[in-house]
Amino acid sequence: METQARFNWRDNFRLGLLAAVVALSLCAIGVVGTFAQRDIIGGVVSLGHVFLFGAALGGGYLAAHRDADGGTGRALLGGAFIGFLSSLPLVVLALVAEPFHLRQFLPNVSPELLEMLTLGQGQMPGLLILVAVVTVLGLVGVGMARLPSHVRRPLLTGLGVVFLIGLLSETIALAWGSHGLGLRIRRFMFASKGLSIPGVLVVFAAATGLNVWWNTQGSRVRQRVAALPPRRQQVLRWGGIALGILILLILPFLLRRYLSEVIVNVGLYILMGLGLNIVVGFAGLLDLGYVAFFAIGAYTMALLTPSEYGVANLSFWTALPFCVLAAVLAGIFLGVPVLRMRGDYLAIVTLGFGEIVRILVLSDFLAPLIGGAQGILKIPNASIGGLEIVHPEHLYYLVLAGCLLAFFVSWRLRDARLGRQWMAMREDEDVAEAMGINLVRTKLLAFAIGAAFSGMSGAIFAAKLSSVFPHSFSLMVSINVLCLIIVGGIGSLPGVVVGALALVGLPELLREFAEYRLLMYGALLILMMLARPEGFWPSEVRKRELHTESAPTGGGSPIGSA
């Protein structure tokens, strides 16, 4: 108890230092500066500010969270200390930047960044305000952690939604159109960049209110639904599904061209993600060369249609099955030699396979046949009844059809015999075999079906761009797909969608991310593993696996101690 009552300098010092290092390095590598252009609240708060100040806020929150049963006074002191400590390096940075010409070594320490650090108030008063602001943020972090959860949750939800909408305000504002009521709503809610102040208030109030309502009334609503007769419940469920499908169908009209383009790209990744999810998530085979099947699908499309290097004269629709078939054969071709490999070895060999395919399509040796580094141009677009599918709004339906098919197939397979075979194999190959599961067939089917989805994605990709280039098939694509299923939740079908939206959709909307994509992935993956290792939308088995200590049952009968 003695130690409990005292202020824990060491922990607080460590957290403060950590926050300082985070803020300082985000400044030094240019994240803060780059994102300063992206306003969340017009003219007030930018994404750069979030990166600059987030660390102090997080540090205070963590400190109070760790020392959950300490007194409030001590916690506040800790938060202020952490905030203060983490502001000092920023002050030093601002002070030494000009006299020492720091910009020579750290090109990102620009006058704009210094302006931001001093909050545009001139050096001395500005820096003092900076220290004060960061210190207060440390306190706010503590406050957040100390609020009772029925207050904190709505608050955080409100802030989160404001953050998201502010972040995407550029695209969201566009969706309101440029005349009539739409325009008026847009003018009210959005500044020229970011949300307007009234917009912030409206969004925050709505999100917070909804959250409060759900927290207090949600269980009652759920009970009410559960009490309905089964027929009515079924009607409700199908109604929900129908509504979802309806929204999916009219989405391009809501999103217009640019966003449709983004969604099409997301969709191509969803298609790949669903395929890799079968291989990695269902069957537990770590495949790092997954892009190879995407490439094979794309190149098959290029070669079978009347393109530059086309050897056949097929239409998109007749060529499509062959693209899928080619990918499937490649999947089996890869599968056979790796049948006996597990874990790391499998990962390395598949990685090699992906690179081999990329190098082959890039090679001069095959260039006379498939164009080498120049790629293949003039691939015809897909068409339906004479209508060419060129615009993203139309391509959307093609991709949607592919995704729905893949989703349906994955979903049915998961609950079928094959799904159980995969699950058994993933859990323990030896036991699975002893139980009568044909490992060879089961593994090859995973590779083949996974490859099929990727091949389909590649084929649509080729028709979409009317061209293929080797550089579209780099290792990065495999890593993207793997990351998105990890972030979404390995083995979970909705998780693939969530992961693709977060890792493919968001960076498309925030072009500045491109430069920091890998950094963001790394940070996101580490944070995920710490805070939510099962992913955003985990599958049942993963959820159980990672939370066994706290919830040993999968539902159903209570457990007595025997």
Q: Residue numbers of the site for other proteins (CB under 8 A)?
A: 417, 420-421, 423-424, 427-428, 430-431, 433-439, 541, 544-545, 548, 552-557, 559-560, 562
Q: Are 334 and 289 in contact (CB under 8 A)?
A: yes
Distance CA 464, CA 419 (A): 32
Q: Which is nearer to other proteins, 429 or 508 (CB)?
A: 429
Question: Strand pairing of 382-384 and 387-389?
Answer: antiparallel
Considering the complex, state which of residue 393 and residue 534 has its C-beta at the smaller distance from other proteins. Answer: 534
| Amino acid type, 142 | V
Instruction: Give the list of residues 6+ apart from residue 242 with CB closer than 8 angstroms, or none.
Output: none
- Is the Cβ of residue 318 or residue 553 nearer to other proteins in the bound state? 553
- Give the nearer residue to other proteins in terms of CB position, either 404 or 416: 416
Minimum CB–partner distance for residue 173 and other proteins (Å)? 46
**CB 120 to other proteins: min, Å:** 55
Sign of CA dihedral 529, 535, 538, 539: negative
Least CB distance to other proteins at residue 534 (A): 12
**CB 413, min distance to other proteins, A:** 15
Q: Give 394 or 426: the residue with its C-beta nearer to other proteins.
A: 426
3-state secondary structure 302-342: HHHCCCCCCCCCCCHHHHHHHHHHHHHHHHHHHHCCCCCCC
Would you put residue 532 in left (φ > 0), alpha (ψ -120 to 50) or beta?
A: beta
- Report, in Å, the least distance between residue 444 CB and other proteins: 14
Query: Minimum CB separation from other proteins for residue 545, in Å?
Result: 5
Min dist. Cβ of residue 423 to other proteins (A): 7
Q: How far is the CB of 542 from other proteins (least distance, A)?
A: 9
Q: Closest CB to other proteins among 60 and 491?
A: 491
* CA atoms of 270 and 402, how far apart (whole Å): 10
d(CA 513, CA 363): 31
Q: Which residue, 79 or 489, is less far from other proteins as judged by CB? A: 489
Nearer to other proteins, 120 or 560 (CB): 560
Nearest distance, CB of residue 557 and other proteins, angstroms: 6
Q: And the tokens for 365? A: 């040796």
Which candidate, 461, 416, 417, 410, places its Cα nearest to that of 435?
417
Asked if residue 485 lies in contact with residue 279, where contact means CB atoms within 8 angstroms, the answer is no
Rounded to whole angstroms, the Cα distance separating 170 from 165 reads 9
Q: What is the distance between the alpha carbons of residues 292 and 350, in angstroms, rounded to a whole number?
A: 9
Between 364 and 415, CB nearer to other proteins: 415
Helix (H, G, I), strand (E, B) or coil at 389: strand
- For residues 74 and 7, the answer to whether their CB atoms sit within 8 Å is yes
* Residue 535, helix vs strand vs coil: coil
